[in-house]
Amino acid sequence: MELHNDLADKTIVITGATAGIGRAALHALASRGANVIGVGRSADRCQQAKQAVLAEFPAARIVFVVADLSSQQQVRDLASEITRLVGEIGGGKIDALINNAGTVSSWYVATADGYELQFAVNHLAPFLLTHELLSLLEQAPSGRVVTVSSGSHYKAEIHWDDVMYRKGYGCLKVYMQSKLANILFSAELNRRLGAGSSVHAYAVDPGLVNTEIGFKGTSGIEKWVWRRRKKKGVSPEQAAETLIFLAVDPSVNGSGDVYWKECQPKVPSADALNEDEAARLWALSERLCGIIWG
Ligand SMILES: NC(=O)c1ccc[n+]([C@@H]2O[C@H](COP(=O)([O-])OP(=O)(O)OC[C@H]3O[C@@H](n4cnc5c(N)ncnc54)[C@H](OP(=O)(O)O)[C@@H]3O)[C@@H](O)[C@H]2O)c1
């Protein structure tokens, strides 16, 4: 099929583009002619996702970079490779960074950096990757940082005494904390960039989505629950619509709303809008990533 080409001037980076919502977003963005840089942790799955788009849209512009986002060194190497690619094929700018990759884990798993896996992949990786790519987002007329959160954040709090849950680990509460962190990060990024910035950050609740996320890194009981629950979810294609809307739609320009569902702004939890919590999480994230955001 022919490309629609209405996004031919856009360069978009999307993590977790090998499955579920991210793969659906990659497909839709590439079909509209965007220059898409997908990120996945498995070279085989990256190749499969790319070939699936090219089979339908032979002229699609997709490159994949392989990175395990649980490793901060790999996040830094990923950012360097994206920077090189954007210089070569992306017109020296990134119009949107979609921080979509996410994981769950039934067990406490320590990353190569010694951090808890869900906190590292779901929060610290978007924090660090956005930091590393911000100057390229600032080259775009309206740079967007879209981070995929979840409605589960409403029941969450940041567990300040032990943010990595080294004691009292529980799959769901650790996941929900990371999804609250996604909104705190987006809101604080907007505050730090200031009202005059060309870059804006948004967090998305994709709703319940029929993907395989609950089958990866989970125990038998969680797999059992997810097998039943996911059937009630919307398709990844439907969930991807809000990510795409926030990444490219001109009507979003200037919106002060940070949290979105079904292409509409939504009020997140009071904790998610707490500026003290956001500043505290920001400072902790800087320390855990070994960076100082200018
Ligand atoms: N499904 C839902 O109901 C739901 C609801 C609310 C929020 N969300 C959020 O939506 C986002 C996408 O989830 P999904 O449901 O589409 O899940 P999914 O189908 O499992 O896709 C997750 C993506 O992230 C990638 N990924 C996981 N760990 C990674 C790592 N360490 N390094 C690099 N990539 C990694 C996966 O790679 P592989 O292909 O190699 O596994 C995959 O591409 C997540 O942030 C999730 O928290 C989902």
* Sheet strands side by side (includes 199-205): 61-66, 35-40, 11-15, 96-99, 143-148, 199-205, 259-261, 264-265
Q: What is the pLDDT of residue 55?
A: 98
122 CA distance to ligand 1 middle (Å): 9
Give distance in angstroms: CA of 279 to centre of ligand 1.
Answer: 26
Position 224, amino acid: W
Nearest CA to ligand 1 atom 20: 213
What's residue 89's pLDDT? 87
Q: Yes or no: say if 230 and 219 are a contact pair by the CB < 8 Å rule.
A: no
- Nearest residue to 73 via CA among 132, 31, 19: 132
Whether 233 is in the pocket of ligand 1, judged by its Cβ within 6 Å, is: yes
- The per-residue pLDDT for 79 is 98
Q: What is the pLDDT of residue 90?
A: 78
Would you say the C-alpha torsion 15, 21, 25, 27 has a positive or negative sign?
Answer: positive
What are the residue ranges in the chain where pLDDT is below 50? Answer: none
Nearest CA to ligand 1 atom 41: 19
Instruction: Output the pLDDT for position 294.
Output: 79
Per the DSSP assignment, residues forming a β-bridge with 203 are: 147, 259
Residue 133: predicted pLDDT: 98
Q: Read off the amino acid at residue 18.
A: T
Residues 225-241, buried b or exposed e (16+ Cβ, 10 A)? ebeeebeebbebebbbb
Task: Provide the pLDDT for residue 161.
Answer: 97
Q: Is the beta carbon of 216 within 6 A of some atom in ligand 1?
A: yes
Q: What are the domain boundaries of the chain?
A: 11-289
Distances (CA, A) of 255 to 88, 195, 289: 32, 10, 29
Give the pLDDT confidence score for residue 217 in this predicted structure.
96
Query: Looking at residue 255, what is its pLDDT?
Result: 86
Q: Tell me, which fold does domain 11-289 have in CATH?
A: Rossmann fold (3.40.50)
Nearest to 208 by CA among 155, 261, 172: 261
Evaluate the CA torsion angle 268, 269, 270, 274 in order and state its sign.
negative
User: To test the ligand 1 pocket, which listed residue (15, 27, 36, 41) has its Cβ within 8 A of the most ligand atoms?
Assistant: 41
> Any catalytic annotation for residue 115?
no
Gap between the Cα atoms of 277 and 281, Å rounded: 6
In 3D space, the residue among 39, 45, 179, 168 whose CA is nearest the CA of residue 104 turns out to be 179
DSSP 3-state assignment of 162?
helix
Task: Name the CA radius of gyration of the chain, rounded.
Answer: 18
The confidence score (pLDDT) of residue 220 equals 95
pTM of the entire predicted model: 0.98
Please give the helix or strand (H or E) that residue 183 lies within, else none: helix 171-193
Q: Are 290 and 73 in contact (CB under 8 A)?
A: no
Residue of 12, 6, 18, 44 lying closest to 216 (CA atoms): 18
Residue 49, SS3 per DSSP: helix
Residue nearest to atom 14 of ligand 1 (CA): 20
60 lines ligand 1 (CB under 6 A): no
